[in-house]
Amino acid sequence: EGEEARTPRVPRKPRRRRNKKAAAAAALQEAEDDSAEEGEEEQDAKKGRKPAKAAASGVDRKMLVSVLPGDMVEVVLTEDGSVREYYVEMTHQAKIRGNIYKGVINNIDTNLQAAFVNYGNVKNGFLQIDEVHPEYYLQPHEPTKGRKYPPIQKVLKPGQEVLVQVVKEPNGSKGAFLTTWLSLAGRFLVLTPGQEQIGISRKVEDGEERNRLRELIRGLEPGEGLGAIVRTVSAGTSKTTLQKDLSFLKRVWKDIRKRATTEKVPSLIYQEPGLASRSVRDYLSDDVSEVWVDNAETAEAIREMASLLFPRKGDLVHLYEKHDKTLWEHFGLLNQIEQVHSREVLMPSGGRLVFDQTEALMAIDINSGKIGGKTNFEAMAFRTNMEAATAIARQLRLRDIGGQIVIDFIEMRDPEHCREVEKELRNAMKGDRARHDIGKMSSFGLLQIVRQRTGSSAISISMETCPHCKGTGQRRNMEWQSVQTLRDLHRAMRSAAAAGQTEYAHSVDAELGLYLLNHKRERLSLMEKEFHIRLDIRIEGISSAPAAPAQQQGHQHNGQNNGR
């Protein structure tokens, strides 16, 4: 390979900082904005090459963007007033998926056949052998029938510098998943350095359109050591449009190469655009009738990007300026968005879905709720499960749930009903942007889905573990807590008596304090008589008479001490 393909060993000068407006529009504006494109698009239109339309014509689609500057960005895609997709990004926990870093290998685990890379984050990234580009191999390796990849310890070493891209966000105790097979997403193309191939996204299913795109890309020349993938949104576009996007991506790649040679390790080399810009790049399509934004600066940046994508739709982007209602309230979406962050989701028929995240998987339980009564159980179960299949597919998209998902459907005895529910779920998930694999329903009504984790779920972004129950959703009951407190008091009062004290104070929370005084008063009195000590039970937050200098102040108790 020529030097152009060996970029990961190279880097570049820092770019000048651009204002937000320019940065938001840069993803498309840096490509030459000549009038030839419009002329070619008009010729394509005359020849019958029309942009791809939505499969379901007549559906009203909108994109809504809500911005709280410096804190949060939310993007909602709607269909006929119903939330189809929901994305949220908090400034203090911005996503790093797609970012490119110059990192260094800290250590290699031969059992996992993976390297741990210091790329500047708190936790090292995880780089598996199949994500290592052959360019980094310390010695050549020819794939054989028995071994596709060489042992990682023979091709990488600690201290070796690598250019890596985040493919999966850090999650809990797990670090980010990394790759050295880099890719840069544009509006219509994905540039793939180190892979000299041009292909078409598998999601472009229309045979005629695939043939048309195949003819267009024959003339594209990414350059030595570079490849490209035509994205789904390219359906209906012209060759000039694709060439323009390619030119922009090549400039970005050149910029990355420069930085990779000058920046120290570890450092950020390339940062994916923010949520608002990414949404316009990835989700704004010709069938979106309106874009509403509640922030003037963001609206202007999106307007500039949209004008490059859809030059004939000048009134596409609107600024929402009402102060009496939020953007979500105005469009009647508040309840739907709030539901995304809820553990339970009510279904129209009265049933409900219950979402529980564990360390290993997301469990979804289906409860029939008010459905049932004297109704035939099999018919009720089938009807509820069919409704749940559609609702679950929607919630997986809205919540951006990834990893292993196990659904506990209401058990059905009719095998045909089971197949129908599976079919309904598969159909409902056809439009899901994330890759997924749906298993078969077991005889107990359990069905497993593996869905691509594209980032942090809405719940993980908006929720935190309860400090009292530690995420279990349960706590020790009052009787248990009171008995443990009595045990602690008995031990502490014995020590106080041995030290010659006559009074002892002990602090507890209000609920436990009231329970002790109402249900354990006799036991407390017996302890006072046993040790000849006056016991003062103090409620947290309520002042008490000051203790004598010789008194010992008991420890604060909340029913969770000593791990109990």
Residue range 275-331, pLDDT digits in tens: 888 888 888 888 899 999 999 999 998 998 888 777 777 688 999 998 889 999 999
Given a cut of 50, whether residue 82 has pLDDT beyond it is yes
Q: How many helices (H) and strands (E) does the chain have?
A: 15, 24
Q: Is 171 domain-assigned? A: yes
On the 0-12 / 13-18 / 19+ scale of CB atoms within 10 A, 456 is buried
406 and 297 within one domain: no
Report which of 460, 455, 434 is spatially closest to residue 176, judged by C-alpha positions: 455
> Pairing relation of β-strands 267-270 and 100-109?
antiparallel
316 and 401 within one domain: no
Question: Which CATH number belongs to the domain containing residue 172 in this structure?
Answer: 2.40.50.140
Cβ contact 533:496 at 8 Å: yes
Domain-terminating residue out of 179, 201, 219 = 179
Domain-terminating residue out of 437, 462, 487 = 462
Name the amino acid, one letter, at 286: D
Name the amino acid, one letter, at 490: H
147 and 108 within one domain: yes
Name the least confident of 63-77, 90-104, 365-379, 526-540. Answer: 365-379
453 and 351 within one domain: yes
What is the pLDDT confidence band of residue 29, given thresholds at 50, 70 and 90? very low
138 and 63 within one domain: no
Report which of 398, 390, 392, 389 is spatially closest to residue 340, judged by C-alpha positions: 398
Cβ contact 75:86 at 8 Å: yes
Name the amino acid, one letter, at 203: K
> Which sign, positive or negative, has the C-alpha torsion 217, 25, 316, 279?
positive
159 and 133 within one domain: yes
Q: Is 361 domain-assigned? A: yes
Q: Is 442 domain-assigned? A: yes
Cβ contact 236:49 at 8 Å: yes
489 and 555 within one domain: yes
Q: Which domain holds residue 137?
A: 100-179
Q: Which two tokens stand for residue 276?
A: 């608002």
Name the amino acid, one letter, at 241: T
Helical spans, DSSP H, in 376-438: 377-399, 415-428
458 and 380 within one domain: yes
Number of domains in the chain: 4
Given a cut of 80, whether residue 35 has pLDDT beyond it is no
Give 526-561 pLDDT, tens digit per residue: 999 999 999 999 988 664 433 333 334 444 444 444
Q: For the full predicted model, state whether its pTM sits above 0.85.
A: no
